[in-house]
């Protein structure tokens, strides 16, 4: 090879290497990410598909260079071809094995453990031993305990929660404490997924759950300005309980009471319950956290500015088996239930939520959501605000609603519908510049929305207006979802249907 040709080859190779690096950087920047919408694509467990964005053009150009290199210098080009083809095959085959539903936070931390699975069967089995077991109540309990545990870690009062948290669990929380921790504030649970159910054939059943949350640690020494550090956290909790215990009613599932006697949590000098004398170190009476594992703790929030194509909008609906009969049976048992009224309420809630979301005025959504999903949405609103962003949805409308599931447990009735909608979905920064999405092109999507209503709710028509479902006064609720006029907690589903869950079409398992 003469000098000129060698020089050309070297410069071709350098160019090629540079282009590969550039493509990798571009792919990282446009990695699978969140898209927006109320509790929607960007919410945990949804929306993750594989973006390519700006990397596409670069890759085409890269392949073109490779072809040129192969023609001009086959001795170098052909081995390079083989390497490139192998890498593409490897990535492609791996991708096939990765489920489409990647959490946005997963993408941000770079892990893609699949955590989505429906545990309906396991929970039905558990209900044979504990007819009161309700997924809704269990979730409420976990949310409440999580917040109480983080708060207690900050105030140094974790030992008070020993009837609910094992020594090991409390230690693993304390280990996280930085020096001079004064408080943990702003605790928001972004999502909680059941990751496993075990021991249904043994006396003790275990449920592991994964949390994705956000909190702020306040650190400081007396006399100095305290410092605040905000973290996005993923952790796994393993809870256990005697299988044959009857779950308490929802109002008692708050981790505020002695699991044995139900009195306020208060300990005597020996560390036992001050009222009943029980020293609780297991799940003999109520769910008990055996272990807590910190999976990741990041200072940066979720990425909120990349475009992701919609996945699953045209998938066939996942409908509960035997749904027609279940529906007929439900209608028979609840003569006051009227589908048209329910659907009108679902539409009202959908519209109010989109408006609240687009304006970052999440309080507006308060009357329509259970505490948990309200908190989860609050997490996203805060993340947008912190990054100086706002996700807007203009010209949206529902194009179709299909009922797909009805469930009744000891305390709640729940109805899941699939909602198809469309609108202009885009994210703007504080200057009003569009940073992702488009305010011109129409985006179509579908989601599964689950509404709940307390079984003891008075038989009344579902409300499709902006009045309190209990007293009829214009809706005005405080942060805990209590009507300012009648003091009724209208977000518990005690009076009317409220939203309790949103699931993406590509990850909904029924």
Q: Which is nearer to Zn ion, 20 or 278 (CB)?
A: 278
Among 260, 345, 377, 463, binds Zn ion (CB under 5 A): 260
Binding flag, residue 275, Zn ion (CB under 5 A) = yes
Q: Which is nearer to Zn ion, 328 or 473 (CB)?
A: 473
Binding flag, residue 498, Zn ion (CB under 5 A) = no
State the Cα–Cα distance between residues 163 and 285, nearest whole angstrom: 10
Binding flag, residue 390, Zn ion (CB under 5 A) = no
Binding flag, residue 502, Zn ion (CB under 5 A) = no
Q: Which is nearer to Zn ion, 261 or 434 (CB)?
A: 261
State the Cα–Cα distance between residues 38 and 354, nearest whole angstrom: 6
Distance of CA 380 to the CA centre of its chain: 10
Q: Which is nearer to Zn ion, 386 or 458 (CB)?
A: 458
**Which of the ranges 212-220, 270-278, 434-442, 444-452 carries the binding residues for Zn ion, by CB under 5 A?**
270-278
Binding flag, residue 457, Zn ion (CB under 5 A) = no
Q: Which is nearer to Zn ion, 117 or 242 (CB)?
A: 242
Cα angle for residues 445, 446, 450 (degrees, 5° grid): 145
State the Cα–Cα distance between residues 170 and 271, nearest whole angstrom: 15
Binding flag, residue 483, Zn ion (CB under 5 A) = yes
Give the CB-side neighbour count of residue 249, counting CA atoms within 13 A. Answer: 6
Q: Are 273 and 261 in contact (CB under 8 A)?
A: yes
**Which of the ranges 99-107, 135-143, 256-264, 310-318 carries the binding residues for Zn ion, by CB under 5 A?**
256-264
Binding flag, residue 486, Zn ion (CB under 5 A) = yes
Binding flag, residue 258, Zn ion (CB under 5 A) = yes
Q: Are 295 and 420 in contact (CB under 8 A)?
A: no
Q: Which is nearer to Zn ion, 51 or 469 (CB)?
A: 469
Binding flag, residue 256, Zn ion (CB under 5 A) = no
Binding flag, residue 252, Zn ion (CB under 5 A) = no
Binding flag, residue 491, Zn ion (CB under 5 A) = no
Among 101, 391, 470, 507, binds Zn ion (CB under 5 A): 470
Alpha-carbon torsion angle 171, 175, 177, 180, nearest 10: 100
Among 261, 401, 410, 434, binds Zn ion (CB under 5 A): 261
Q: Which two three-digit tokens encode residue 194?
A: 């059941």
Instruction: Output b/e per residue, 38-70; b: 16+ Cβ within 10 A.
Output: bbbbbbbbbbbbbbebebeebeeebeeebeebb
Q: Which is nearer to Zn ion, 330 or 485 (CB)?
A: 485
Among 471, 476, 489, 510, binds Zn ion (CB under 5 A): 471
Binding flag, residue 485, Zn ion (CB under 5 A) = yes
What Å distances lie between residue 13 and 88, 322, 372, 499, CA to CA? 19, 62, 55, 57
What Å distances lie between residue 442 and 46, 52, 438, 445, CA to CA? 20, 20, 8, 10
State the Cα–Cα distance between residues 114 and 124, nearest whole angstrom: 23
Q: Which is nearer to Zn ion, 76 or 256 (CB)?
A: 256
Helices (H), 269-390: 323-333, 339-358, 371-386
Among 169, 468, 477, 482, binds Zn ion (CB under 5 A): 468
Q: Which is nearer to Zn ion, 328 or 460 (CB)?
A: 460
Binding flag, residue 276, Zn ion (CB under 5 A) = yes
Chain contacts with Zn ion (rule: CB under 5 A): 258, 260-261, 273, 275-276, 468, 470-471, 483, 485-486, 488
């Amino acid at each position: 090879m003469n000098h000129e040709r060698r020089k050309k080859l070297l410069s071709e190779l350098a160019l090629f290497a540079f282009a590969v690096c550039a493509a990798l950087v571009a792919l990282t920047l446009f990695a699978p990410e969140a898209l927006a919408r109320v509790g929607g694509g960007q919410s945990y467990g949804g929306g993750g598909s594989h973006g390519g964005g700006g990397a596409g053009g670069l890759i085409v150009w890269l392949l073109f260079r490779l072809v040129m290199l192969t023609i001009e210098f086959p001795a170098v080009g052909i081995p390079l071809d083989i390497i490139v083809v192998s890498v593409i095959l490897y990535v492609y085959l791996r991708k096939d094995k990765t489920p489409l539903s990647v959490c946005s936070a997963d993408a941000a931390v770079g892990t893609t453990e699949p955590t989505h699975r429906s545990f309906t069967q396991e929970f039905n089995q558990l209900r044979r031993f504990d007819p009161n077991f309700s997924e809704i109540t269990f979730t409420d309990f976990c949310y409440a305990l999580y917040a109480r545990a983080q708060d207690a870690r900050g105030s140094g009062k974790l030992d008070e929660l020993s009837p609910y948290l094992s020594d090991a669990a409390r230690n693993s929380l304390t280990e996280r404490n930085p020096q001079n921790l004064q408080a943990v504030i702003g605790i928001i649970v972004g999502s909680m997924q059941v990751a496993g159910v075990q021991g249904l054939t043994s006396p003790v059943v275990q449920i592991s759950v994964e949390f994705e949350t956000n909190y702020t640690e306040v650190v400081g020494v007396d006399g100095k300005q305290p410092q605040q550090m905000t973290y996005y956290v993923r952790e796994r909790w393993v809870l256990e309980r005697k299988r044959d215990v009857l779950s308490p009613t929802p109002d008692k599932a708050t981790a505020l009471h002695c699991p044995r006697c139900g009195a306020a949590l208060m300990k005597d000098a020996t560390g036992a319950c001050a009222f009943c004398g029980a020293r609780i170190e297991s799940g003999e009476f109520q769910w008990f956290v055996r272990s807590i594992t910190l999976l990741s703790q990041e200072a940066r929030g979720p990425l909120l500015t990349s475009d992701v194509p919609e996945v699953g909008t045209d998938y066939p609906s996942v409908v509960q088996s035997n749904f027609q009969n279940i529906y007929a049976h439900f209608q028979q048992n609840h003569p006051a239930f009227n589908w048209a009224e329910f659907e009108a309420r679902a539409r009202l809630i959908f519209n109010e939520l989109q408006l609240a979301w687009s304006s970052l005025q999440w309080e507006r959504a308060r009357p329509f959501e259970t505490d948990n999903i309200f908190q989860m949405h609050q997490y996203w609103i805060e993340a947008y605000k912190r990054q100086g962003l706002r996700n807007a949805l203009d010209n949206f409308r529902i194009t179709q609603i299909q009922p797909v599931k009805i469930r009744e447990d000891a305390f709640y009735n729940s109805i899941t519908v699939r909602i198809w909608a469309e609108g202009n979905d885009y994210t703007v920064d504080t200057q009003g510049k569009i940073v992702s999405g488009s305010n011109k092109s129409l985006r179509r999507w579908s989601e599964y929305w689950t509404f709940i209503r307390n079984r003891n709710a008075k038989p009344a028509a579902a409300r499709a207006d902006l009045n309190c479902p209990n007293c009829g006064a214009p809706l005005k609720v405080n942060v805990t979802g209590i009507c300012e006029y009648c003091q009724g907690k209208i977000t518990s589903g005690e009076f009317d249907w409220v939203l309790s869950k949103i699931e993406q079409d590509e990850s909904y398992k029924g």
